[in-house]
């Protein structure tokens, strides 16, 4: 069944209209998003569907229809969702017409479904990561009655094109280039909840980027769990660097970013394409996870400390003004203080511009969850603080090096605290605040970086 099926939208629109007549106003809907850029992009599609059905989109959880797009990469992501569900349940008591839905990665876990069925009976709708294109049908069923609808698919083979989308920003957009993951890092739940790796047809991706450019988008962020393996499994597929070269040709697109790049398949071709490119941003997120070769092996990352450091140094030599950022896990089973020393050693030799640091979270069903040498929480916290300190010290040192220079910034929003300032993003992903007004949002301007404030700059516009 095609999602573009107009019948289902007509039906949804009728029901939303009837809902509105009962309420005496246009019904509101909100999508609350947890997790990564993939989820953020999925939420834009979910919002697109809700808008097409006739809802007025708001951001408050008190909406008449609230949908939580969940993440399960670490346990605290799950706990947050349960906390929010408690709040939504309270709203539903006051507004019995309210409908509450859940979707996303956490819903692919059977234990989660059991818990919701027994403890959160007021939930109306549960679906997973493989069937978001069926949301219009679920929405119709939800509006017709108040029971709990559950539909979880184990795998998704098709890639659904042409869902309605409502972009959060008018001038930048995520673009999915692949879905799922085949890497099975031993700590990670993503391959289980997002399924096997599937690449989108390059022509579809390019067409989407062209359409976005026509709509005024100047920056695209290409999304995949491992963009470096893009194209594998496609008939006549092109490689990721080739895809980048094609997108570079699209006139209106001024900046290209991508996430995430697995070090094990980062090719020389990619480095050269980045080096030559005028549009690919000077930023590479290259998750390390650990600096210890022993742990990297147990994590199934397929590189060791020396290979990673050599790769990072080579990238810095080829593209000197690139910012390198990373992800680090502390407290993986079997980690000793010496392993953490190795991680800190890599931080200091690669000189990361920034890093996300996470405490290992045991994910049921992953190989590492069964390892016997789990690290006690107190020890993980102690080691985490050491790593964080090293990361912050390095980030401060790196941030300072561009002070006084002039760089291009894409102005993204008004400054949250000071209405006379706007906030922009440099090619290297750093933020700069400068005097300006809303008319600048979405444009790329030259900014002199007057003062480094640790993790961001204060600057001014120059011609
Ligand atoms: N595909 C991306 C990562 C997606 S998950 C990649 O391989 O780079 C984002 C980050 O969450 C990972 O890089 C890892 O650092 C962290 N992460 C994943 N599983 C985790 C776990 N069980 N505990 C703690 N952090 C985890
Ligand atoms: Fe998880 Fe590894 Fe896949 Fe990234 S590459 S999503 S860390 S399994
Ligand atoms: Fe979370 Fe799913 Fe992304 S588990 S990190 S939202 S792919």
> With left for phi above 0 and alpha for psi between -120 and 50, is residue 233 left, alpha or beta?
left
Residue written as token pair 């496609």: 234
Please answer whether residues 106 and 39 qualify as being in contact, where contact means their C-beta atoms are separated by less than 8 angstroms: no
Share of the chain residues as helix, strand and coil, in percent rounded to the nearest 5 = 40, 20, 35
- Residues 205 and 246: their CA atoms lie apart, in Å, by 10
Low-confidence ranges of the chain (pLDDT < 50): 1-3
Pocket test for ligand 1, best of 327, 374, 377 (most atoms within 8 A of CB): 327
Instruction: State the distance from the centre of ligand 3 to the C-alpha of 257, rounded, in angstroms.
Output: 19
What angle (nearest 5°) sits at the alpha carbon of residue 203, between those of residues 197 and 207?
Answer: 115
pLDDT of residue 4: 52
Pull the structure tokens for residue 398. 């790196």
CA distances from 4 to 146, 377, 422, 451 (A): 25, 49, 39, 51
pLDDT of residue 2: 47
String of DSSP letters for 153-171? -S---S---------S-SS
Q: Which residues, judged by CB distance below 6 Å to any ligand atom, belong to the binding site of ligand 2?
A: 181, 183-185, 188, 190-191, 225-226, 262
pLDDT of residue 157: 74
Instruction: State the distance from the centre of ligand 2 to the C-alpha of 110, rounded, in angstroms.
Output: 21
Instruction: State the distance from the centre of ligand 3 to the C-alpha of 460, rounded, in angstroms.
Output: 37
Pull the structure tokens for residue 442. 């979405």
pLDDT of residue 286: 98
Q: Which residues, judged by CB distance below 6 Å to any ligand atom, belong to the binding site of ligand 1?
A: 73-74, 187-188, 190, 225-226, 260, 262, 287, 289, 327, 329, 358, 360-361, 363
pLDDT of residue 353: 97
Pull the structure tokens for residue 384. 């985490």
Instruction: State the distance from the centre of ligand 2 to the C-alpha of 224, rounded, in angstroms.
Output: 10
Instruction: State the distance from the centre of ligand 2 to the C-alpha of 181, rounded, in angstroms.
Output: 6
pLDDT of residue 437: 96
pLDDT of residue 3: 46
Pairing assessment for the beta strands 178-179 and 198-199 based on DSSP bridges: antiparallel
Please answer whether residues 441 and 411 qualify as being in contact, where contact means their C-beta atoms are separated by less than 8 angstroms: yes
- Residues 149 and 126: their CA atoms lie apart, in Å, by 6
Atom of ligand 2 nearest to the CA of 189: 1
Q: At what angle do helices 6-23 and 37-53 cross, to 10 degrees?
A: 70
Which residues are CB-neighbours of 99 under 8 A, at least 6 positions away?
Answer: 64, 65, 66, 124, 125, 142, 143, 146
Is the preceding peptide bond at 193 cis, omega within 30 degrees of 0? Answer: no
- Residues 100 and 89: their CA atoms lie apart, in Å, by 8
pTM over 0.75: yes
The residue nearest atom 13 of ligand 1, judged by CA position, is: 327
- Residues 51 and 57: their CA atoms lie apart, in Å, by 7
Q: At what angle do helices 268-276 and 305-318 cross, to 10 degrees?
A: 20
pLDDT of residue 163: 86
Please answer whether residues 347 and 355 qualify as being in contact, where contact means their C-beta atoms are separated by less than 8 angstroms: yes
């Amino acid at each position: 069944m095609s999602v573009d099926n107009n019948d289902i939208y007509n039906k949804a629109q009728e029901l939303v209209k009837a809902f509105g007549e009962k309420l005496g106003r246009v019904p509101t809907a909100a999508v609350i998003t947890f997790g990564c850029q993939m989820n953020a992009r999925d939420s834009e599609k979910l919002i697109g569907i809700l808008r097409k059905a006739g809802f007025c989109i708001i951001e408050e959880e008190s909406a008449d229809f609230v949908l939580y797009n969940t993440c399960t990469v670490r346990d605290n992501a799950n706990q947050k969702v349960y906390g929010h569900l408690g709040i939504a349940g309270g709203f539903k008591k006051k507004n019995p017409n309210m409908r509450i839905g859940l979707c996303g990665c956490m819903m692919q876990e059977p234990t989660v479904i059991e818990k919701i069925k027994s403890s959160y009976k007021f939930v109306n709708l549960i679906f997973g990561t493989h069937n978001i294109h069926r949301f219009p049908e679920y929405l119709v069923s939800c509006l017709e009655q108040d029971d709990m609808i559950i539909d979880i698919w184990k795998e998704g083979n098709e890639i659904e094109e042409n869902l309605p989308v409502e972009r959060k920003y008018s001038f930048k957009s995520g673009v999915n280039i692949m879905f799922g993951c085949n890497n099975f890092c031993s700590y990670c739940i993503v391959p289980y909840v997002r399924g096997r790796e599937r690449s989108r047809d390059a022509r579809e991706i390019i067409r989407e980027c062209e359409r976005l450019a026509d709509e005024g988008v100047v920056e695209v962020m290409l999304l995949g769990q491992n963009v470096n393996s893009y194209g594998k499994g496609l008939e006549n597929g092109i490689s990721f660097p080739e895809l980048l070269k094609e997108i570079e040709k699209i006139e209106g697109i001024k900046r290209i970013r991508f996430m995430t790049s697995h070090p094990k398949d980062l090719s020389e071709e990619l480095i050269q394409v980045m080096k030559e490119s005028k549009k690919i941003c000077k930023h590479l997120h290259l998750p390390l996870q650990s600096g210890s070769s022993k742990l990297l092996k147990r994590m199934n990352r397929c590189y060791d400390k020396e290979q990673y450091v050599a790769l990072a140094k080579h990238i810095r030599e080829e593209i000197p003004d690139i910012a390198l950022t990373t992800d680090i896990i502390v407290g993986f089973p079997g980690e000793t203080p010496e392993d953490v020393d190795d991680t800190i050693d890599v931080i200091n030799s690669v000189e990361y511009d920034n890093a996300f640091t996470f405490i290992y979270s045991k994910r049921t069903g992953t190989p590492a969850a069964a390892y016997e040498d789990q690290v006690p929480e107190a020890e993980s916290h102690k080691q985490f603080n050491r790593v964080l300190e090293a990361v912050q010290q390095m980030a401060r040192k790196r941030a300072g090096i561009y002070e006084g220079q002039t760089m291009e910034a894409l102005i993204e929003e008004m400054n949250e605290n000071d209405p006379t300032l706007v906030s922009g993003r440099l090619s290297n992903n750093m933020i700069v605040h400068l005097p300006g007004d809303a008319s600048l949002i979405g444009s790329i301007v030259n900014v002199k970086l007057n003062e480094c404030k640790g993790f961001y700059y204060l600057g001014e516009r120059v011609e």
